Amino acid sequence: MHERDRDAIARLLKKGIPVAVCTGRMYSGTRDIARAVGVVGPVGCVDGVHIVNAADDRDLLLRTIERPAAETLFRVLTEHRPTTFVFSDDTLFHDETGNPYLHYVQTWSRRAQRLVDAIAHFGSSTNPVAGLVSLGTEEQIQGTYATLVAEAGETLQCATFSLRSPGFEGMWGMVVRAAGVSKATALEWMAAHYGIDASEVVAVGDWLNDIPMLERAGRSFAMAQAPEQVKAAATDELVADATTGGGIAEAAERAGML
């Protein structure tokens, strides 16, 4: 956390302005960061699937994939066999095929457990699934995506993307969670929790999963390094980027909060 952002959060909280975190990470990968900067209210995790009170680790909302949709999901994954990481019970489950990528995906959760076959395990169990991430070739991921949209498009929310990080060149990824859940629904829930309207919220984001949140907030800021479609969804673009830091401070100042 950049020192300027840490200071801005402290100043906002001192003024009585609630500060919340909304992330694609699981709660186990979010709690320490939130507490370190003084955020002890609701935090939205797994892109709005899970909302937790950071003060006492109490679940406030959990919208997992319903069983019929989960059965379809794991049947299709069995057919295409991409490397899959399953988010369940605030833990990241994977099998041996995920070992080369574990250092990357563990940023989403501090808790990881290796299974013999993650897809088979969750395909035959009733364990609730908050979401999952699959990695593979473009053909593998797009084939999985097309089948899921055709068979369970109304109950599952799926998105695919190419990976450009070092070590992932030429690979594609897919994120799956329950339909109707996003950072926008988390923003609305947290706004209601604090007794305000979503139009009174100022949001900062930098990636594709931030788009619904940026579109829903009354004032929204895209970080300077964000993709163009993210910037298009926001009301404003920041000078600050992930390298320089200071995005939260800049947004709060430009929104008239500080």
Q: Which of 178, 198, 224 is the last residue of a domain?
A: 178
User: Considering the chain, what is the average pLDDT of its residues?
Assistant: 95
**Which one of 159, 178, 197 terminates a domain?**
178
Question: Long-range contact list for 193-202, CB < 8 A, 24+ apart?
Answer: 193/41, 193/42, 193/60, 194/18, 194/41, 202/251, 202/252, 202/255, 202/257
Domain of 21, in residue numbers: 3-63+181-254
Distance from C-alpha of 231 to C-alpha of 186, rounded to nearest angstrom: 20
CATH number at residue 237: 3.40.50.1000
Residues 192 and 234 in one domain: yes
pLDDT band at 190 (very low <50, low <70, confident <90, very high): very high
Q: Are residues 187 and 233 in the same domain?
A: yes
pLDDT at 164: 78
Q: What is the pLDDT of residue 230?
A: 97
Shared domain for 135 and 170, answered yes or no, is: yes
pLDDT of residue 112: 92
**Quick one: tokens of 16?**
């009585």
Q: How many domains does the chain have?
A: 2
Please state, as a whole number, how many other Cβ atoms lie within 10 Å of the Cβ of residue 161: 13
Are both 74 and 174 inside the same structural domain? yes
Contact call for residues 54 and 34 (beta carbons, < 8 A): yes
Q: What would the mean pLDDT of 108-137 be, rounded to a whole number? A: 94
Asked which of 127, 157, 178 is the last residue of a domain, the reply is 178
Please check whether residues 78 and 162 belong to one and the same domain.
Answer: yes
Kindly state whether residues 22 and 91 are assigned to the same domain.
Answer: no
Claim to verify: residue 205 and residue 190 sit in the same structural domain = yes
Considering the domain architecture, whether residues 40 and 91 belong to the same structural domain is answered as no
Do the Cβ atoms of 47 and 181 come closer than 8 Å?
Answer: yes
The pLDDT value recorded for residue 103 is 83
pTM of this prediction?
Answer: 0.90
Q: Is the alpha carbon torsion for 210, 157, 218, 36 positive or negative?
A: negative
pLDDT tens track for 39-59: 999 999 999 999 999 999 999
Same domain, 247 and 190: yes
Q: Would you say the C-alpha torsion 185, 187, 190, 192 has a positive or negative sign? A: negative
Neighbours of 48 (CB within 10 A): 28
Dump pLDDT digits (tens) for 46-96.
Answer: 999 999 999 999 999 999 999 999 999 999 999 999 999 999 999 999 999
Residues 78, 152 within the same domain: yes
CATH at 109: 3.30.1240.10
CA end-to-end distance (rounded Å), the chain: 19
Residue 57: Cβ within 10 Å count: 11
